[in-house]
């Protein structure tokens, strides 16, 4: 018998518009298309987080986008890629140049723009098809910025391939930081704030993105910050703004932490810490999904800090030291970081290598977070740049003075599961990925046991197929996600050429049954329901990975379903109508 763990995601009781998966596809790499013949070491990859438990790495050498460090992308709320940019040109989801999508900078190199966090993409509030690309331009032959632009994309044009309708609309012309554009949701849950620092000062240019457009002003905070490379990030809850700066190759890197007022778009309480490491090739920062822990990755050292402590930097824990691993031509030194939709933190390597690093459980304290070096391997060289994503699943501050958009935090349930130790097949770690401010969690492990922990560890008594459900709630509402977890056995259909398993939930049901499948990425099938006498009472075509079927017209009682796929395999099961 072949052993493995199989998984299936089934979203229920959540609309597509609530899904908010705009950050679920990362497009990265360089030297693609004709510059990267098949089986070459250069090209592009797609890092797809829609599978949840482990991102799907797709080799995309045939696409000809070149990235240096600047990188930004956007998906629709369902997680389908819309467009992306290297800071010089915009490409649509068919990996072709968008209409009017070139000429984002005056002097393109053709190899992508060299500016960390030099671009970000924000949806225009109140619109389902307009997006703003906020992007910067270097001062000629200098290591700092001097212009900030707005480029507007209309995704309703060209049958969903998009068109640039306004390009390089000047927002700011001044001496600016070298990239490090950051954005956070306004406390009304609808608008956006974005920031970029005025060079070598305590002044930031502040943009407010509303349905009426973008307004720009300035805000001052604390002491001046020296500029070099580095990274900025907001904590996922929007309460902290973090600036990481590697001023030079010979000076220590600096980390600055500020408190954020999302109503007014202002900062306070500057706290600064210095990290000395040699060599000094750069620094990146990210925050755990629960906003508790700050992580800093500085060339050869990785640290964790507790953002809830009165003295944040006194809690410093060394979680990793560069182990000397060489990938391709270079060592896998630590650089930029990004908190991903799967709840992990991914860390790029300095220069270009085939490997990245990850923090597997960033909500855990100290070494329990499991920082793993160079354990993400790519089929092509990867550059340092990561897509610059704000937290798209941040809602309003309910009850605040600026909670004026009529929105509330309605929790969205989500989780991943995995075996931390592959030698203990029945021990499963569940990691909560829920959004929109849940305050309580209820897990049903499908074996008659439950838990109220946020991210529980559970040991099953035996191998098998389990329907695991998570219910998250707060004062506004509750949401449920059920997933089919098949532990240990590769198939319940051993011997068939294309085995799969089916989840039907809820069962018993009162109106709608949610069908999901495991073992097939996509299915075309016919689903039939029979009463106990064998009479067919309902038929439905199924195309995809899950099906929501309204069976409210059936009388209460016992029924049987049969699923026949176009691949010649079938499944049967029982349904109970309440």
**Residues 353 and 476 reside in one and the same domain:** no
End-to-end Cα separation, the chain, in angstroms: 38
* DSSP assignments along 339-381, one per residue: E-TTS-EEEEESSSEEEEEEES-TTS-GGGG-EEEEEEEEEEE
Tokens matching residue 330: 């270079």
485 lies in a domain? Answer: no
Q: State the sign of the Cα–Cα–Cα–Cα dihedral 366, 251, 176, 200.
A: positive
Q: State the sign of the Cα–Cα–Cα–Cα dihedral 353, 249, 305, 441.
A: negative
559 vs 460, more confident? 460
Domain count of the fold of the chain = 3
- 249: nearest Cα among 198, 298, 189, 315: 298
- List pLDDT tens digits, range 374-393: 999 998 999 888 999 999 99
Residue 249 pLDDT: 63
495 vs 267, more confident? 267
Question: In this predicted structure, which of 172-186, 284-298, 459-473 has the lowest mean pLDDT?
Answer: 459-473
**Residues 567 and 448 reside in one and the same domain:** no
Across 501-519, b (16+ Cβ under 10 Å) vs e yields bbbbbbeebeeebbbbbbb
Residue 71 pLDDT: 96
**Residues 166 and 254 reside in one and the same domain:** yes
- List pLDDT tens digits, range 100-115: 999 999 989 888 999 9
Residue 14 pLDDT: 32
**Residue 532 CB coordination number (10 Å):** 9
CATH, residue 357: 2.130.10.10
395 lies in a domain? Answer: no
Residue 3 pLDDT: 29
**Residues 443 and 553 reside in one and the same domain:** no
Q: Which domain holds residue 471?
A: 1-12+403-480
**Residues 147 and 269 reside in one and the same domain:** yes
**Residues 453 and 500 reside in one and the same domain:** no
**Residues 533 and 506 reside in one and the same domain:** yes
Bridge partners (DSSP) of residue 255 are: 244, 273
- List pLDDT tens digits, range 165-186: 999 999 999 999 989 999 999 9
Residue 366 pLDDT: 98
- List pLDDT tens digits, range 53-94: 888 888 888 888 889 999 999 999 989 999 999 999 999 999
* Mean model confidence pLDDT for the chain: 88
CA distance 27 to 45: 6
Q: Looking at 348, 382, 416, which one is the last position of a domain?
A: 382
Q: Which residue has the tokens 């989840």?
A: 503
**Residues 296 and 349 reside in one and the same domain:** yes
**Residues 136 and 260 reside in one and the same domain:** yes
413 lies in a domain? Answer: yes
The answer on pLDDT for 142 being more than 60 is: yes
In contact, 268 and 221? CB cutoff 8 Å:
yes
394 lies in a domain? Answer: no
In contact, 514 and 548? CB cutoff 8 Å:
yes
Quickly state the pLDDT bin for 547 (edges 50, 70, 90): confident
Q: What is the dihedral of CA 15, 17, 18, 21, to 10 degrees?
A: 120
**Residues 446 and 561 reside in one and the same domain:** no
As a whole-number percent, the residues of the chain with pLDDT over 90 amount to: 63
The answer on pLDDT for 241 being more than 70 is: yes
CA angle, corner 508, sides to 502 and 513, nearest 5?
50
**Residues 103 and 175 reside in one and the same domain:** yes
Quickly state the pLDDT bin for 498 (edges 50, 70, 90): very low
Residue 24 pLDDT: 95
Determine the average pLDDT of the residues in 273-294: 92
**Residues 206 and 285 reside in one and the same domain:** yes
392 lies in a domain? Answer: no
In contact, 257 and 242? CB cutoff 8 Å:
yes
Residue 495 pLDDT: 36
Determine the average pLDDT of the residues in 312-323: 98
As a whole-number percent, the residues of the chain with pLDDT over 70 amount to: 91
CA distance 444 to 418: 16
393 lies in a domain? Answer: no
CATH, residue 566: 2.60.40.2550
pTM of the model: 0.84
Question: Counting runs of H as helices and runs of E as strands, what totals does the chain give?
Answer: 1, 43
89 lies in a domain? Answer: yes
Determine the average pLDDT of the residues in 122-146: 91
For residue 201, the Cα-to-chain-centroid distance in whole angstroms is: 32
388 lies in a domain? Answer: no
- 111: nearest Cα among 143, 151, 144, 65: 65
- 5: nearest Cα among 567, 483, 569, 546: 483
CATH, residue 445: 2.60.40.10
Most confident of 210-224, 544-558, 560-574: 210-224
């Amino acid at each position: 018998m072949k052993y493995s763990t199989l998984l299936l995601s089934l979203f229920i009781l959540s609309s597509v518009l609530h899904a908010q998966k705009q950050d679920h596809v990362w497009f990265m790499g360089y030297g693609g298309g004709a510059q990267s013949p098949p089986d070459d070491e250069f090209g592009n990859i797609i890092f797809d987080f829609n599978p949840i438990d482990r991102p799907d790495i797709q080799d995309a050498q045939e696409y000809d986008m070149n990235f240096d460090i600047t990188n930004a992308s956007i998906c629709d709320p369902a997680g389908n890629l819309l467009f992306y940019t290297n800071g010089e040109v915009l490409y649509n989801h068919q990996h072709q140049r968008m209409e009017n999508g070139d000429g984002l900078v005056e002097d393109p190199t053709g190899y992508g723009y060299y500016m960390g966090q030099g671009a970000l993409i924000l949806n225009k509030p109140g619109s389902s098809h307009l997006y703003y690309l906020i992007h910067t331009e270097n001062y000629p032959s200098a290591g700092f910025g001097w212009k900030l632009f707005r480029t507007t994309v209309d995704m309703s044009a060209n049958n969903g391939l998009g068109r640039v309708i306004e390009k390089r609309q000047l927002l700011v012309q001044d001496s600016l930081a070298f990239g490090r554009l950051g954005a956070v949701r306004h406390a009304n849950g609808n608008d956006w704030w974005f920031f970029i620092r005025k060079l070598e000062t305590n002044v930031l240019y502040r943009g407010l993105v509303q349905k009426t457009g973008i307004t720009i002003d300035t805000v001052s905070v604390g002491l001046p910050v020296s500029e070099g490379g580095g990274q900025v990030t907001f904590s996922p809850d929007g309460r902290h703004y973090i600036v990481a700066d590697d001023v030079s190759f010979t000076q220590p890197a600096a980390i600055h932490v500020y408190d954020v007022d999302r109503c007014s778009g202002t900062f306070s309480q500057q706290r600064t810490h210095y990290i000395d490491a040699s060599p000094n090739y750069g620094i990146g920062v990210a925050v755990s999904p629960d906003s508790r822990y700050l992580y800093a990755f500085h060339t050869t050292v990785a640290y964790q800090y507790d953002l809830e402590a009165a003295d944040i930097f006194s809690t410093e824990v060394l979680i990793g030291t560069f182990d000397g691993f060489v990938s391709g031509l270079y060592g896998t030194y630590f650089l930029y970081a990004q908190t991903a939709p799967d709840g992990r933190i991914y860390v790029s390597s300095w220069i270009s290598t085939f490997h990245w690093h990850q923090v597997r459980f960033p909500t855990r304290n100290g070494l329990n977070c499991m920082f793993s070096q160079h354990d993400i391997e790519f089929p092509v060289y990867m550059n340092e740049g990561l897509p610059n994503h704000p937290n798209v699943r941040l809602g309003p501050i309910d009850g605040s003075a600026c909670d004026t958009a009529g929105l509330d935090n309605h929790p969205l349930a989500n989780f991943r599961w995995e075996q931390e130790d592959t030698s203990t097949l029945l021990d499963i770690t569940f990691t909560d990925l829920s959004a929109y401010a849940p305050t309580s969690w209820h897990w049903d492990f499908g074996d008659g046991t439950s838990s109220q922990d946020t991210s529980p560890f559970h040991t099953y008594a035996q191998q098998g197929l389990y329907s695991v459900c998570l219910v998250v709630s707060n004062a506004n509402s509750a949401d449920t996600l059920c997933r089919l977890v098949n532990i240990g056995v590769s198939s319940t259909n051993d011997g068939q050429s294309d085995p799969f398993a089916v989840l039907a939930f809820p069962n018993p049901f009162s109106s709608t049954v949610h069908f999901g499948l495991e073992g097939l990425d996509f299915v075309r099938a016919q689903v039939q329901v029979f009463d106990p006498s064998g009479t067919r009472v309902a038929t439905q075509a199924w195309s995809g990975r899950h099906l929501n079927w309204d069976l409210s017209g059936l009388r209460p009682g016992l029924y049987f379903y049969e699923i026949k796929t176009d691949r010649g395999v079938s499944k049967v099961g029982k349904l109970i109508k309440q």
